[in-house]
């Protein structure tokens, strides 16, 4: 047994020595302009600003406008993340969109993002892991880069939850909002980066947070629509209990994996679901609230987008410095949970992006729809030629 442990330690440290360090090179967020306040909600359902503030900490949330969708928000956040890093999307190897509200059941929203960015070489797929989706995506992308399968990956959390919320159900409609956040991952010569990721799931809690219809179990019918089965349904109290247990547990486990004591954690960025969940978790962890980042008062719960949006805002607010240790921790439908420990390796404040790079990216994005149109025309022409000469 002793020998096995020693062998594992030697193997792990050899692996660590050869493992590539993965950094967050760029970050961006996108939020709809339309603001829905608690007072607005109190005119729609039987609720009040006082109840929502006291039970959730939320003051307002953003709601997607008519032309805005999960893909459009994801594209905007992605462009900002790429611009922050001065990175050409043509060099992307992978795009992951974590979402509970994809543009369609298929094709993947990530493919629409890939097309709009002109990321010609990138593989693209959606990831469904409830509100933990961004952490799942971060873990997969990090491991793919560490293994040498990819050099650069874009991980996006994007949602239009307002489209699946029952605006007559006060137990759920007050909680959620729309938005997107993105992170560009890649290797760099800086030390630190993503030190570890931890993921978990417990499907026995699947019914606690669910969109019952629209899948193979309950395909859309007039009955499913009449019964409100295309709206998000949730057992709030049970999810609350799960969240306050899993946030401290996942945070501690992730820190233990890298041998980092809690005192050396500069900032915890939890999934922004409810201020009471965050405070109860902080108390269980023994972490002062001033080392926890929150912005849920302005956006509500944006599901997979909440952690990347919070990361962007923590950076913008100067709450993260080079060398700081951060934990991102999430939980959500599934049930799922996940955490990542990051040693911030990028200089901050980040150097400004050159005007030439910005111009190149602008041209790239203007060209992307033209290229897409040419590809469609080529396909149509190919089909026509095939029909004319069947053999």
- Name the residue nearer to ligand COA (CB basis): 91 or 279: 279
Q: What is the DSSP letter of 225?
A: H
Q: Two tokens at 98?
A: 């974590």
According to the binding rule CB under 6 A, does residue 125 interact with ligand COA? no
**Residue 325 annotated in active site:** no
List the catalytic residue out of 111, 152, 173, 271: 271
Helix (H) or strand (E) holding 197: strand 193-201
According to the binding rule CB under 6 A, does residue 174 interact with ligand COA? yes
- For ligand COA, the binding residue among 131, 138, 140, 292 (CB under 6 A) is 131
List the catalytic residue out of 152, 173, 301, 312: 301
- For ligand COA, the binding residue among 26, 332, 334, 338 (CB under 6 A) is 332
Interacting residues with ligand COA between 47 and 66 (CB under 6 A)? 47, 51-52, 55-56
- For ligand COA, the binding residue among 114, 249, 274, 275 (CB under 6 A) is 274
- Name the residue nearer to ligand COA (CB basis): 131 or 320: 131
Minimum CB separation of residue 248 from ligand COA in Å reads 15
Cα–Cα dist 315/44, whole Å: 35
- Name the residue nearer to ligand COA (CB basis): 109 or 244: 244
Q: How far is CA 76 from CA 28, 101, 180, 196, 341, in A?
A: 8, 16, 8, 28, 26
- Name the residue nearer to ligand COA (CB basis): 63 or 85: 63
Interacting residues with ligand COA between 181 and 240 (CB under 6 A)? 209, 234, 236-237, 239-240
Sign of CA dihedral 32, 34, 39, 44: negative
In the stretch 75-114, what mask flags binding to ligand COA with x, by CB under 6 A?
Answer: ----------------------------------------
Cα–Cα dist 32/61, whole Å: 9
Q: Two tokens at 146?
A: 């560490």
Minimum CB separation of residue 175 from ligand COA in Å reads 6
Q: Two tokens at 58?
A: 């939320």
Q: How far is CA 342 from CA 45, 314, 325, 333, in A?
A: 41, 14, 6, 24
Cα–Cα dist 379/357, whole Å: 32
Minimum CB separation of residue 318 from ligand COA in Å reads 28
Cα–Cα dist 89/363, whole Å: 12
Minimum CB separation of residue 31 from ligand COA in Å reads 18
Minimum CB separation of residue 312 from ligand COA in Å reads 19
Contacts of 362 (CB under 8 A, 6+ apart): none
Cα–Cα dist 307/313, whole Å: 10
Name the residue among 178, 194, 184 with its Cα closest to residue 61. 178
The residue whose two tokens read 């004319």 is 388
According to the binding rule CB under 6 A, does residue 171 interact with ligand COA? yes
Contacts of 272 (CB under 8 A, 6+ apart): 278, 294, 295, 296, 299, 300, 301, 302, 306, 307, 309, 310
Minimum CB separation of residue 35 from ligand COA in Å reads 18
- For ligand COA, the binding residue among 101, 301, 302, 346 (CB under 6 A) is 301
List the catalytic residue out of 111, 131, 173, 312: 131
In the stretch 13-52, what mask flags binding to ligand COA with x, by CB under 6 A?
Answer: ----------------------------------x---xx
Q: Is 88 helix (H, G, I), strand (E, B) or coil?
A: coil
Minimum CB separation of residue 199 from ligand COA in Å reads 15
**Residue 131 annotated in active site:** yes
Binding site for ligand COA (CB under 6 A): 47, 51-52, 55-56, 131, 170-171, 174, 209, 234, 236-237, 239-240, 243, 273-274, 301, 332
Catalytic residues: 131, 271, 301
């Amino acid at each position: 047994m002793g020998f096995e442990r020693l062998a594992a330690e030697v193997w792990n440290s050899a692996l660590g020595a050869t493992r590539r360090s993965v950094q967050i090179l760029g970050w961006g967020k996108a939020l709809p302009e339309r603001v829905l306040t608690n007072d607005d909600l109190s005119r729609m359902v039987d609720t009040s600003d006082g109840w929502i503030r006291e039970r959730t900490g939320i003051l307002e949330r953003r709601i997607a406008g008519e032309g805005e969708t999960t893909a459009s928000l994801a594209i905007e956040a992605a462009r900002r993340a790429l611009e922050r890093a001065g990175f050409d999307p043509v060099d992307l190897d992978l795009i992951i969109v974590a979402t509970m509200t994809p543009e369609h059941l298929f094709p993947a929203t990530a493919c629409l993002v890939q097309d709009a960015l002109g990321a010609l070489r990138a593989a693209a797929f959606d990831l469904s892991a409830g509100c933990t989706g961004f952490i799942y995506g971060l873990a997969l992308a990090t491991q793919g880069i560490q293994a040498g399968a990819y050099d650069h990956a874009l991980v996006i959390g994007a949602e239009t939850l307002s489209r699946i919320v029952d605006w007559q159900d006060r137990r759920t409609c007050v909680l959620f909002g729309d938005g997107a956040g993105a992170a560009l991952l890649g290797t760099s010569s800086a030390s630190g980066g993503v030190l570890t990721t931890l993921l978990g799931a417990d499907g026995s809690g699947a019914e606690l947070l669910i969109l019952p219809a629209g899948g193979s179990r309950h395909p859309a019918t007039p009955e499913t629509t009449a019964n409100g089965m295309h709206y998000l349904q949730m057992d709030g109290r049970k999810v609350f209990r799960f969240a306050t247990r899993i946030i401290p547990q996942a945070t501690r486990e992730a820190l233990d994996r890298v041998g980092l004591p809690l005192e050396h954690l500069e900032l915890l960025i939890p999934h922004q679901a409810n201020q009471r969940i965050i405070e109860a978790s902080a108390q269980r962890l023994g972490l002062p609230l001033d080392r926890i980042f929150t912005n849920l008062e302005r956006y509500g719960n944006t599901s997979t987008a909440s952690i990347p949006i919070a990361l962007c805002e923590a950076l913008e607010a100067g709450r993260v410095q080079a060398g700081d240790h951060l934990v991102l921790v999430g939980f959500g439908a599934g049930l799922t949970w996940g955490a990542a420990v990051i040693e911030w390796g990028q200089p901050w404040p980040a150097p400004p992006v050159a005007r030439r790079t910005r111009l190149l990216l602008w041209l790239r994005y203007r060209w992307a729809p033209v290229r897409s149109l040419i590809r469609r025309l080529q396909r149509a022409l190919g089909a026509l030629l095939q029909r004319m000469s069947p053999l």
